[in-house]
Amino acid sequence: MTEYPQPVDRPLPPAPAAPEAAAASAEASDSAPTPALELRAVSKAFGSVLAIRDITLQVDPGTVTCVLGDNGAGKSTLIKILSGVHQPTEGDLLVDGEVRSFDTPRDALAAGIATVFQDLATVPLMSVWRNFFLGNEPLRGMRPLRFLDARRARAVCRDELLAMGIDIRDLEQPVGTLSGGERQAVAIARAVHFGAKVLILDEPTSALGVKQSGVVLKYVLQARERGVAVVFITHNPHHAYMVGDRFYLLNRGRLTNEFVRGHVVREDLVKAMAGGAELEALAHELESVNR
């Protein structure tokens, strides 16, 4: 008898395609679809440091929500609140329209919120397929004699990677030998396979070149096509513009701009990120140094 791994603590329903999700919640209420995740007036203080203040945002199913900001803007603090690492000092976190409080990242994962951290996403010395399962491998045989079903695990891993358009020839090769983009791709495919409704990606393209970034952006769109609500953290307004449906800009812990696809041009994002006046002041400073 073969037993397959349970995706997360509780089985999650398959992620609905975006139009169905919209239709389903349109029935429930006449207005817009219920956001998969929402923050309402959330602030987080570390002692006397207010890392983020009064943040209100929403993340819809089947869309990509980009959070843009410079170093220290509060991006990591924000995603740590979404993923259960931190609890808000003030304000509410809502999941599928209900106020929730997560004590640990495991609680968030059980609610279908998966986070891919840039460096901790995969174990470099472990093979691709072992990384894909990481403790959730399928087993075969009867209790108490149950064995790892390696053949089945490799097949599931290969199928899932191919479904996302990722073709890795040798699944036995250590993940450390893959490119940065491919490693991110394995982590994204894994989260989607194990039923993530919300996928949070912490700067997945920041260490990558142009081509590899393109690879990762493609998988971001693949996850969106499968109905996942993707939260994409980045410094890079060009990357955000290519995949984003909604854009939030953070500056020193505050939300300074919000844009929606179709009502924003790339230059708006670039300008908002560069912080217009600040950049001019810097140019002046550099000029005087060069003189």
Ligand X SMILES: Nc1ncnc2c1ncn2[C@@H]1O[C@H](COP(=O)(O)OP(=O)(O)OP(=O)(O)O)[C@@H](O)[C@H]1O
Footprint of Mg ion on this chain (CB under 5 A)?
A: 76
For residue 75, state whether it binds ligand X (rule: CB under 6 A).
yes
Which of ligand X, Mg ion, none binds 234 (CB below 5-8 Å, type-dependent)? Answer: none
For residue 77, state whether it binds ligand X (rule: CB under 6 A).
yes
For residue 71, state whether it binds ligand X (rule: CB under 6 A).
yes
Q: Shortest Cβ contact with Mg ion: which residue?
A: 76
Please check whether residue 283 is in contact with residue 289, taking contact to mean a CB–CB distance below 8 angstroms.
no
Among 1-9, 69-77, 127-135, 260-268, the segment contacting ligand X (CB under 6 A): 69-77
The minimum distance between CB 71 and ligand X, in angstroms, equals 3
Nearer to Mg ion (CB atom), residue 49 or residue 142: 49
The minimum distance between CB 17 and Mg ion, in angstroms, equals 32
The minimum distance between CB 72 and Mg ion, in angstroms, equals 8
The tokens describing 244, both together, are: 């984003």
The minimum distance between CB 200 and Mg ion, in angstroms, equals 12
Please select the residue that binds ligand X; options are 15, 36, 42, 51, rule is CB under 6 A. 51
Q: Within 191-250, which residues bind ligand X (CB under 6 A)?
A: none
Please select the residue that binds ligand X; options are 25, 34, 65, 76, rule is CB under 6 A. 76
The tokens describing 147, both together, are: 């064995």
Q: Within 21-50, which residues bind ligand X (CB under 6 A)?
A: 46, 49
Q: Which of 275, 268, 214, 252 is nearest to 73 (CA)?
A: 252
Q: Which residues bind ligand X (CB under 6 A)?
A: 46, 49, 51, 69, 71-77
